[in-house]
Chains A and B, each alone.
Chain A
Amino acid sequence: MSSSTVAGERPRVTPARRGTPRPDGSTGASRWLVSSIALLAALLGWAVAAWIVDDNIAPTPFEVFGRVLDFMLSGSAFTNFAASIVKILAGFALALVVGLPIGFVMGRSPFMASYFSMPLFVLGNVPGLAYAVFGLVIFGVGSIGPIVVSALVAVPFIAMNVAEGVRSVDGGLLRMCQAFDRRASDVVRHVYLPAITAFVFVGVRYGFAMAWKVEALTEVFGANDGVGFMIRRAYQEFQVADMLAWTMLFIIAMVLIERGLARLETRMFAWRKELA
């Protein structure tokens, strides 16, 4: 059960709450006012700290924003993020190929569920450092390492959620299909698929943040392009402003993608009320 917590609940705790506004009625102006004041205060604190330290290792917000603008205008922000995201997408495609069958047998058989729970737990808990180093050592500098690593990180999320989706299939529907002699392909197409897709989507959304972080770490250790590689380069050149600028871009991209996925999910699966 702990593995289900790892794969299923960790992300549920983190990004899920963010996507949808809380039903406390506090929308609109007051919310934006408070959060922008808080952000401004944080920036002010940062600026004061940078002013007190007055060193290259603590750049001011203005320098960092300047670098962010530079990266965006020069286009290197887009090429590197595109490179990272293409690797993640490839990794998730791989994770789907592996995770779908695992999740399916886990949902169908309790023995398989307990058989796979330990390996999935280990897969989800290997420190990012280990993934990054082995990605570099085994696959060398290049794109294969980050792709395989993000797939390995994503597999537990996909498999656990597919298993959950298979378990959610109504047994009555299955027996009715049997009674009315539906073909297996029909059962898969009309019973399993609608149930599973929503859960797969949830798995992808929750796995995305984890996978991207580990993927970026792998790029820090060995890559030719991507966000992690740019962070590594800035670190080696001791350019703290550049590092912070890339971090800021990373955070913004991550939040935007998560919000986009959450919105897409509510739109696509509005018919499924039980999916929170």
Chain B
Amino acid sequence: MTATLAPEAGPRPVPKDPAGSVWSRRGRSASYSAAALVAALLSMLAVWQLASVFGHRVPSIGETIGRLVDEEAGGHLWTNLALSMNRFVLGLVVALVVGAVLGVLMGLSRVADHALSDLTMAGLAAPAVIWALLTTMWFGFGWLTPVVTVFLAALPFVMVNIAKAVRAVPADLVLMARSFGVSRTQVLRHIVAPAVAGSTVAAVRFGIMSAWNGLLLAEWFGSTSGVGWRSRYWYDANQLDGFLAWVLVFIVFLVLADQVLLGPVERFVTRWRTA
């Protein structure tokens, strides 16, 4: 539609020039994205405040922050976070390794893709709570319950995205490079790596999100320590401010993992797309 209109449309507005639009947007956004962020944060706090005033049993900001400070002072915050991080990282690393192997297999071989795609689809569709409940029944209240849940929750997301990354390798470019005698490391560095980078970051990102969700549920139902258990402790004690304090921790963790850790990595590995 755009293409057919383009010749008659005369001088195009700025956004039609892709490079120009990116840079002008970036320049302008630097000036006011901070303002927008502050405004957004203030609005969210305002909504929270309104909800706690008018809502039914919503804890206020002050109570929640106070409870969080108490948790920190009582030593519950960091010990439970450390315990949960152990389980989380263990399960996630295993999921990343296994998922990468299976994903590469799916991306390279059509037979493997057909064989595994139905199972991955089922894994993607299954809600994490099922894994949490099943592992609780299977393994009881041990470290295995959260670790296995994290693994199972993250695995299909890793597999699908790694397979996608492998398929994104431009075969014709690799063939051409080879016929021109480009060295193997050069091919890996300049053709394969840029192509697979985006989806690989996505694999880690969605793995983290799904795994974190699974970890919380597994610790909620089948654990006697960790962040999920601690939030349940407050819920069972009918102290919603304590629960909400932990929810804040959960969200902060995800924001940190996504924006602070993976965001720059993603911008770095996909810089070739805009520049």
Contacts and interface: CB of A to CB of B under 8 A. Distances in A.
B176 interface: no
Contact of B118 (A35, A115, A137): A35
Contacts of B216: 127, 129
A110 B118 contact: no
Interface stretch (B69-77, B93-101, B182-190, B250-258): B250-258
Contact of B133 (A24, A119, A231): A231
A114 B29 contact: yes
Interface in A117-174: 117-119, 121-122, 125-130, 133, 137-138, 170-173
Interface string A178-219: 000000000000000000000000000000010001001100
Given A137-B57, A243-B130, A119 B119 contact: no
Nearest to B114: A34
A250 B127 contact: yes
Contacts of A122: 44, 251, 255
Nearest to A14: B124
Interface in B115-140: 115-119, 121-122, 124-130, 133-134, 137-138
A52 interface: no
Nearest to A128: B213
A176 to B, nearest CB: 9
A121 B128 CA distance: 20
B2 interface: yes
SS class, residues of chain B in contact with chain A: helix
Given A13-B164, A171-B15, A238-B137, A251 B9 contact: no
A61 interface: no
A47 to B, nearest CB: 16
A111 B36 contact: yes
Contacts of A17: 160, 164
Interface in B11-69: 12-13, 15-16, 25, 28-29, 32-33, 35-37, 39-41, 43-44, 55-58
Contacts of A119: 40, 43-44
Most buried by A among B35, B55, B115, B125: B125
Contacts of B262: 2
Interface stretch (A3-11, A62-70, A72-80, A94-102): A3-11
Given A13-B202, A18-B121, A118 B40 contact: yes
A247 B220 contact: no
A127 B118 contact: no
Given A118-B40, A216-B127, A255 B122 contact: yes
Contact of B2 (A138, A170, A213, A228): A170
Given A17-B160, A118-B37, A127-B212, A231 B250 contact: no
B206 interface: yes
Given A35-B117, A35-B118, A110 B28 contact: yes
B88 interface: no
Interface string B195-229: 00001001001100100110011001000000010
A210 B221 CA distance: 21
Most buried by A among B25, B121, B217: B121
Contacts of B258: 2, 6, 121, 125
Nearest to B259: A2
Contacts of A9: 202
17 contacts: A6-B258, A13-B157, A26-B110, A30-B114, A38-B114, A38-B119, A121-B255, A122-B44, A129-B231, A130-B251, A138-B58, A172-B9, A209-B125, A231-B130, A240-B137, A243-B134, A255-B125
Given A6-B258, A126-B250, A217-B129, 18 more contacts: A2-B259, A10-B206, A15-B124, A24-B110, A26-B114, A114-B40, A115-B40, A117-B40, A122-B255, A127-B247, A128-B217, A138-B55, A172-B9, A209-B124, A217-B127, A235-B133, A240-B137, A244-B134
